[in-house]
Homo-oligomer: A and B are copies of this chain.
Amino acid sequence: MQIDVTQRKIGLNFNSDGLAEIRLWAPDADRVLVHIEKLGEPLEMFRRNLGYWYLQTDQIKPLDEYAFELVASEKKEGHPSCTKGQVLPDPASLLQNNGVSGRSNAFDLRNYEWTDQYWTGPELKDYIIYELHTGTFTPGGDFQSIPDKLDYLVGLGITAIEIMPVAQFPGGRNWGYDGVYPFAVQNSYGGPHELQNLVNACHEKGLAVILDVVYNHFGPEGNYISEFGPYFTNKYQTPWGSAINFDDAGCDAVRTFFIENALMWFRDFHIDALRLDAVHAIKDFSPKHILAEIKTYTDKLSEFTGKPYKLIAELDLNDNRYINPISQGGYGMDAQWIDEFHHALRVSAGQEQNGYYSDFNGIENLAKSYNDAYVYDGQYSAHRQRKFGFPATNNPGEQFVVFSQNHDQVGNRMLGERSSQLVSFEMLKVLAGAVFCAPFLPMIFMGEEWAESNPFQFFISHSDEALIEAVRKGRKAEFAAFHNEEETPDPQSEETFNRSKLDWAKILDGEHKLMLDYYRKLIELRKQNPALYTLERANSHAEALPEKNTLILKRHAQSKQIVAVLNFSNEQQCIAVDDFTGDWLLLIDSAAPEFIEQNHNTISADGNIIISPESLLIFSKINE
């Protein structure tokens, strides 16, 4: 099937005459029937090339329910992709009002009146990212509740929100990584129409929208897609079982499925950037990697709409081939997450060196990440038991997203404690400073900016009892070595979900309000000072002082110079800083009341800085 970047050509779509055009890939079927709720008899689809089926009909209207029946001849009976007589939802369904096992609902993607015609969004280098989970970000837990918070986010200085996955998952409570309909927007969040509304509202406020999408696995419940064709291959194993088939027999249709998915979010939902989950679990030995192919089609769509679209990969391979341009043999991702910055930062702040943290020594690795993005770029990793990574020498700072916590790092702890429950209030400010002073794209996790004390725990709402029990056992087993298993929150319990919601009342009070002001100040400083704003890696240099557990970060641009000192130790330190003489302005002292001296203190520097325990100082050179 040819991909047409101007319109979705998979699943059920309404054409300009209002007729439904239905396309399905079912290569092993001998007949395909469409069951439409309100009709007595199913409609017969017509065979097209390469295992595709097609039907154009006026018998179905938006929101009508429909499902497919695959019919296989006798000799194919028992073939996994053709269970005779079973009626299945559309793998490319746009709406599942009856949940993951219900029939699909027709939906007209074009039926939305956008008011963002002139929107092009911030450039990638200006992204200040706020990761949020729709279900727990607001008391309402849906898209409709989010617009009320946009002014708040804009006031904080955020330029892009990143929405955790919204592809239809079982029940109403899930992080989103158990999605089984990549094209269907979770009905309990408000479905596709409300997501369009939210994106439109964000654009009106000047906020870009990043959407987290999962192209490396399907969830365990409501996953009927393998009935339709070879969507999986057993050539490769991933942490979630057989890999999605991106390079084995039948892979063209699977590749098309995901390319169409990426194009839909950009074209039909006006999403500005996709965050591609765990791309290291996408196994593809094709000459053109599926990520490069998604990039090529995304660029074609950009040409058509005139809007820039970005692809940001979650990547655990320290392999800059993923972010290098296609013309240089790369896969063309615009940016990637750097978990290693987080790991080095957390160990600097006292995190025990267990599990994956065992590979990180703290302050020296943190300096390495400031300077080279990847901590491991060829060194031996004891945790991985191999040499790991490759130098990202020529990749600019805007290709790397950094954070001091995210949904994974918080929620994958047994109790889902945020940083606020793990380190001191003073250290929280150092962590935030570390992120916003980095020559990379900063990201925060919802509520972090006011030191939210509620946890973000792992929650699900499956309906299969055996699966629920398996997930419960899995969580308990995961933490058995460190914790009493009775303490493990029950992932299926609604209470676990409810206790993970943000508590917005806090932002008015005491330390929470103080932290929020501090974040605002930090972001404002980053935006205004060219030395912090530039993402030229050559203009940035970090130096570790391991014996003092202190890091010195120097940055400069346009004749502005910044020196930031981050003291992760619990003692006051006297730090000798090269070239730190003459007159400097103290921009931020995280240990001072209100963090910032009134009217900025000018100091006459002698090369030494006295810094309080667990605190951050940022100085700006006063030019003569």
Residues of A within 8 A of B (CB): 50, 234-237, 247-252, 280, 283, 285-288, 317-321, 324, 328-330, 380, 384-387, 389-390
Q: How far is the CA of A283 from the CA of B283 in the complex (A)?
A: 10
Asked if residues B329 and A324 are in contact (CB atoms below 8 Å), the reply is: yes
A461 → chain B closest CB, angstroms: 32
A386 and B287 contact, Cβ closer than 8 Å, known pairs A235-B237, A329-B321: no
Query: Chain B residue with minimal CB distance to A250?
Result: B385
Q: How far is the CA of A387 from the CA of B2 in the complex (A)?
A: 12
Asked if residues B251 and A386 are in contact (CB atoms below 8 Å), the reply is: yes
Q: How far is the CA of A250 from the CA of B382 in the complex (A)?
A: 10
**How many copies of the polypeptide does the oligomer hold?**
2
Chain B residues with CB under 8 A of A247: 386
A387 and B285 contact, Cβ closer than 8 Å, known pairs A50-B380, A328-B329, A329-B324: no
Identify 15 residue pairs between A and B in the complex whose beta-carbon atoms are under 8 Å apart, listed by A's number. Answer: A234-B237, A235-B236, A236-B236, A249-B386, A250-B386, A252-B380, A283-B285, A285-B317, A286-B319, A287-B317, A287-B319, A287-B389, A288-B390, A321-B329, A328-B329
A394 → chain B closest CB, angstroms: 13
Query: Chain B residue with minimal CB distance to A237?
Result: B235
Question: Which 3 A-B pairs give the minimum distances between C-beta atoms?
Answer: A329-B329, A287-B390, A249-B385
Query: Chain B residue with minimal CB distance to A245?
Result: B386
Chain B residues with CB under 8 A of A390: 287-288
Chain B residues with CB under 8 A of A380: 50, 252
Chain B residues with CB under 8 A of A318: 287
Query: Chain B residue with minimal CB distance to A230?
Result: B385
Chain B residues with CB under 8 A of A283: 285
Q: How far is the CA of A317 from the CA of B284 in the complex (A)?
A: 12
Chain A contact surface mostly: loop
Q: How far is the CA of A287 from the CA of B285 in the complex (A)?
A: 13
A610 → chain B closest CB, angstroms: 42
Q: How far is the CA of A386 from the CA of B324 in the complex (A)?
A: 26
Which residue of the partner chain, among B252, B330, B389, contacts A386 with CB atoms under 8 Å?
B252
Query: Chain B residue with minimal CB distance to A283?
Result: B285
Q: How far is the CA of A110 from the CA of B242 in the complex (A)?
A: 48
Query: Chain B residue with minimal CB distance to A322?
Result: B287
A95 → chain B closest CB, angstroms: 31
Query: Chain B residue with minimal CB distance to A389?
Result: B287
Chain B residues with CB under 8 A of A319: 286-287
Q: How far is the CA of A455 from the CA of B181 in the complex (A)?
A: 56
Q: How far is the CA of A390 from the CA of B293 in the complex (A)?
A: 13
Asked if residues A386 and B248 are in contact (CB atoms below 8 Å), the reply is: yes
Q: How far is the CA of A329 from the CA of B329 in the complex (A)?
A: 5
Chain B residues with CB under 8 A of A386: 247-252
Q: How far is the CA of A346 from the CA of B542 in the complex (A)?
A: 63
Chain B residues with CB under 8 A of A320: 287
Chain B residues with CB under 8 A of A324: 329
Chain B residues with CB under 8 A of A237: 234-236
Q: How far is the CA of A280 from the CA of B235 in the complex (A)?
A: 13
Query: Chain B residue with minimal CB distance to A320?
Result: B287
Query: Chain B residue with minimal CB distance to A234?
Result: B237
Q: How far is the CA of A235 from the CA of B242 in the complex (A)?
A: 10
Q: How far is the CA of A390 from the CA of B288 in the complex (A)?
A: 8
Query: Chain B residue with minimal CB distance to A374?
Result: B287
A41 → chain B closest CB, angstroms: 33
Query: Chain B residue with minimal CB distance to A385?
Result: B249
Q: How far is the CA of A525 from the CA of B26 in the complex (A)?
A: 54
Besides the contacts A287-B321, A324-B329, what 16 more A-B pairs have beta carbons closer than 8 Å? A50-B380, A234-B237, A236-B237, A247-B386, A248-B386, A249-B385, A249-B386, A250-B385, A250-B386, A251-B386, A252-B386, A252-B387, A285-B317, A286-B319, A287-B319, A321-B329
A232 → chain B closest CB, angstroms: 13
Q: How far is the CA of A380 from the CA of B319 in the complex (A)?
A: 30
Q: How far is the CA of A248 from the CA of B235 in the complex (A)?
A: 15
Q: How far is the CA of A77 from the CA of B235 in the complex (A)?
A: 31
Q: How far is the CA of A320 from the CA of B389 in the complex (A)?
A: 24
Chain B residues with CB under 8 A of A328: 328-329
A249 and B384 contact, Cβ closer than 8 Å, known pairs A235-B236, A235-B237: yes
Q: How far is the CA of A283 from the CA of B236 in the complex (A)?
A: 10
Query: Chain B residue with minimal CB distance to A51?
Result: B385
Q: How far is the CA of A328 from the CA of B329 in the complex (A)?
A: 6
Q: How far is the CA of A251 from the CA of B386 in the complex (A)?
A: 6
Q: How far is the CA of A239 from the CA of B118 in the complex (A)?
A: 54
A200 → chain B closest CB, angstroms: 37
Q: How far is the CA of A250 from the CA of B381 in the complex (A)?
A: 10
Which of A280, A286, A328 has the most C-beta atoms of chain B within 10 angstroms of its own C-beta? A286
A383 → chain B closest CB, angstroms: 9
Query: Chain B residue with minimal CB distance to A286?
Result: B319
Chain B residues with CB under 8 A of A285: 280, 283, 317
A325 → chain B closest CB, angstroms: 10
Q: How far is the CA of A507 from the CA of B330 in the complex (A)?
A: 53
Chain B residues with CB under 8 A of A50: 380
Chain B residues with CB under 8 A of A249: 384-386
Q: How far is the CA of A331 from the CA of B387 in the complex (A)?
A: 19
Q: How far is the CA of A386 from the CA of B255 in the complex (A)?
A: 10
Q: How far is the CA of A5 from the CA of B447 in the complex (A)?
A: 55
